[in-house]
Amino acid sequence: MRAHRSLAAAVAGILGLTTLAACGSDSAGDGKSLTFVAYGGVTQDVMVKQWLEPWGKTEGVTVSQDSPTDYAKLATMVEAGKVTWDLVDTEPFYPIQECGKSVVKLDHTGIDVDKLPKGTVSDCALPIWGYSLLLAYNKDKYGANPPTSFADFFDLAKFPGTRAAPANVTAGPLEVGLLADGVEPSALYPLDIPRALKKWDALKGKVNLWKTSSVSQQQLEAKQADMALVWSGRAAEAVKNGAPYAPVWKQNLFSWASVVIPKGSAHVKEAQSAIRSLLTPETQAKLAENIAYAPVNSAADPKLDQVYAAYNVTSPTISEQSVSQDAVWWAENQQQAVTQWTAWTTS
């Protein structure tokens, strides 16, 4: 008998807890609030301080945050009909792949899309800021004879030394391999994955693959890699912290952060308003002044210090040398690219 009673109490307790949890997520629907999700760290801090907090103040919206962006979590939320995220920073392929599935179409009114870089705008996606995957090399190591192209990255005979590259295929190692192998930028897509991997075979077992960009920055600052494929923002921060590295801009691989609204978000209106505020020249300038990511609105006129100006990848001197990642190809081929790259990296 007593055993039964404690069992009943326990069941009641568990039920009570789950009900409470369910109420908790429902109550978020009242009032004006917005939950923003990005990859955490300094980048998210800058987005919130320079963009969302000022916007929330003007619009009377309370901004809360979560991190990191997790596609599996997002898909599970949408599947379960319990979406607590309203505005999410994603990679460019994701909103094209998931348009109408886990993310909704965006209202482009009030946004000057002609001023945004080609390829960054689609039904479900608008850009946050731009960056490039570039080759950075240790100036002390290579001195008067520095590398000048991606081909040199793969040339261990001519340029001995340690190498670092992204572990994540969507960051662009396949593109870099093909460009190094002499593929013309105009003929880059569709990517010839086997050819790219064959190029990478030259560095098999000799390249340190970074999983997060903070690790890539650490690798530069601690001089772990003599040559590294890193994102422009991280290279700039490392240089600012005294790392003796220089960039190679030839064929730098331009990419960008996309902003999406999950399907089932209870705050679509607020999220749309936040996106409009994001893409104004003023917000774009403020973001670029506080972190080494490039403004995507060409009307933005940020006041940049020397290092940030040198790494502003949407400035004409750099962007004329850029190769832009094709988000549409990635949306269609991400699965097989991940599978084949994983097979190469883990064996």
Partner 1 sequence: MDGLDHVMRLPDRLRPDPALGLLAPALLALAVFFLYPAISLIWRSFTEPSLGLAQYGDLLGDGVTLGVLARTLWVSALVSVVTLIIAYPYAYLMTTTGPRVRAVLVALALLPFWLSLMARTFAWVVLLQRGGPISWLLEQFGLHDVTLVGTLPGVVIGMVQVLLPFMVLPLYSTMQGIDRRLVTAARSLGAGPATTFRTVVLPLSMPGVVAGLSLVFVVALGFYVTPVLLGSPQNALIAQLIGIKVEQLRDFPAAGAMAVLMLVATAVVLAAATRMVRLGDMFGGAR
Peptide bond into 190 cis (omega under 30): yes
**Sequence-ordered list of residues with C-beta below 8 angstroms from that of 311, at least 6 positions apart, any chain:** 232, 233, 235, 236, 239, 247, 292, 294
User: Residue 22: enclosing H or E segment and its boundaries?
Assistant: helix 2-27
Binding segment for partner 1 among 55-63, 186-194, 201-209, 250-258 (CB under 8 A)?
A: 201-209
Find the binder of partner 1 among 64, 162, 298, 315 (CB under 8 A): 162
Site string for partner 1, 20-59 (x = CB under 8 A): ----------------------------------------
Judged by CB under 8 A, does residue 205 bind partner 1? Answer: yes
Judged by CB under 8 A, does residue 198 bind partner 1? Answer: no
Binding segment for partner 1 among 43-51, 144-152, 167-175, 315-323 (CB under 8 A)?
A: 167-175
One-letter amino acid for residue 276 of the chain: R
**Sequence-ordered list of residues with C-beta below 8 angstroms from that of 42, at least 6 positions apart, any chain:** 237, 291
Q: What's the CA angle centered on 32, arms 110 and 107, to 5 degrees? A: 25
Find the binder of partner 1 among 67, 71, 181, 328 (CB under 8 A): 71
Judged by CB under 8 A, does residue 167 bind partner 1? Answer: yes
Residues 294-333 interacting with partner 1 (rule: CB under 8 A) = none
Query: Across 168-269, where does the E strand assignment appear?
Result: 207-210, 227-231, 245-260
How far apart are the C-alpha atoms of 174 and 194, rounded to whole Å?
A: 9
Find the binder of partner 1 among 28, 202, 209, 268 (CB under 8 A): 209
Judged by CB under 8 A, does residue 142 bind partner 1? Answer: no
Find the binder of partner 1 among 109, 145, 306, 346 (CB under 8 A): 346
8 or 113: whose CB is closer to partner 1?
8
Pick from 64, 68, 107: nearest CA to 86? 64
Binding segment for partner 1 among 47-55, 216-224, 276-284, 287-295 (CB under 8 A)?
A: 216-224
Assess contact for 126 and 314: CB atoms under 8 A. Answer: no
Find the binder of partner 1 among 5, 80, 306, 316 (CB under 8 A): 5
Find the binder of partner 1 among 20, 23, 72, 157 (CB under 8 A): 72
How would you classify the pairing of strands 87-90 and 245-260? Answer: antiparallel
Residue with tokens 């909103």: 95
How far apart are the C-alpha atoms of 153 and 159, rounded to whole Å?
A: 8
Find the binder of partner 1 among 222, 244, 299, 317 (CB under 8 A): 222
What are the residues binding partner 1 (CB under 8 A)? Answer: 2-7, 10-11, 13-14, 18, 70-72, 75, 162, 167-168, 170, 205, 208-209, 211, 215, 218, 222-224, 334-335, 338-339, 342-343, 345-347
